[in-house]
Amino acid sequence: MLGLQGGGMNDGDRTDTLVSFDELLWFGKTQILACLFGIFLLGGLMLTRYWLPDVNLSRSDLLFLYALSLQAALVAFRLEHKDEIIVILAFHFLATLMEWFKTSPAIGSWAYPDENVLFRIYQVPMFAGFLYSAVGSYIARSWRLFEFRFTNYPPVCMTVVLAVLAYGNFFTHHFTVDIRWVLIVASVVMFAPCQLTIRTGKRDRTIPILVGLAFVALAIWGAENIGTYARAWMYPGQEDGWEMVSFQKFWAWYLLIILSFVLVSLVRFRDEKSTRPSV
């Protein structure tokens, strides 16, 4: 059921593979905690589409201050740890650099409709980086809350090379050969043998890591549709009205998930010897 395999049961646990209601409830509550940043950020996008306070700031500036407050609250309430913040900031920086390139007049992959934005880096409003921070936050917090463990994890150096090539291709494919499908196939070959074990309350459950990565990418593609519906940013063709984001973006998010996942892994495998992968 749900593609999960049981394993590592504690005393008194049943050894069947069925997922109980209590386990689903625990899993759902923990997922909400893991993606708390993203949930509140999407809520802010939707709220500001229909209502803005009467202040002398653009919507993008208000979203930046709101996202910054969210991040500060997560740190203040110790919902994110020091090492997680470092990873999230690294992903934030890399994503903002990519945003600057992708939204430049010469490329124009997407655009932000607000004008007179105070908090911006060139044409990119600074709240945009927090959209990616939400992804890094989710992966880092999920890793800790679900106690990720791996079998047959690929060599870490290979995952780093894959992540670097994936990130670089977001820039280079505009000028030279697009190797995204080569990278996607390489990621499947690399991660296909890997199994991810998570803790769901009193039980351990195991899934193929590729299934987990694909589900996260699908969820982010769905969130991106919410973001464009809220008119926080627009793709070509959405200027005169909302339309669903092309499913091709799923594959872009899949590769960005690889990048974020590898960044988190570099910290986790260093600091948590119990989660060091078997290769």
**Dihedrals φ, ψ of 38, to 5°?**
-65, -40
Residues facing 124 on adjacent strands: 121
Q: Encoding tokens for residue 230? A: 């809220």
Residue with tokens 């740890």: 81
Q: Quick one: CA dihedral 50, 55, 60, 61, positive or negative?
A: negative
Please spell the DSSP secondary structure of 77-90, one letter per residue. Answer: TTSS-HHHHHHHHH
The pLDDT tens digits along the chain (279 residues) read 344 555 544 444 444 467 788 899 999 999 999 999 999 999 999 999 999 998 889 999 999 999 999 999 988 888 888 778 888 888 899 999 999 999 999 999 999 999 889 999 988 999 999 999 999 999 999 999 999 999 999 999 999 999 999 999 999 999 999 999 999 999 999 999 999 999 988 899 999 999 999 999 999 999 999 999 999 999 998 888 899 999 999 999 999 999 999 999 998 887 665 444 444
Q: Which residue, 107, 116, 90, 128, is CA-closest to 266?
A: 90
Residue 11: its pLDDT value, please? 42
Q: Where are the alpha helices (DSSP H) in the chain?
A: 21-34, 36-50, 59-76, 82-102, 128-145, 156-172, 180-191, 209-229, 248-271
Per DSSP bridges, beta strands 124-125 and 149-151 are unpaired
Residue 271: its pLDDT value, please? 67
Residue 4: its pLDDT value, please? 54
- The amino acid occupying position 180 is R
Q: Where are the domains of the chain?
A: 5-9+17-275
Q: How far is CA 71 from the centre of its chain?
A: 15
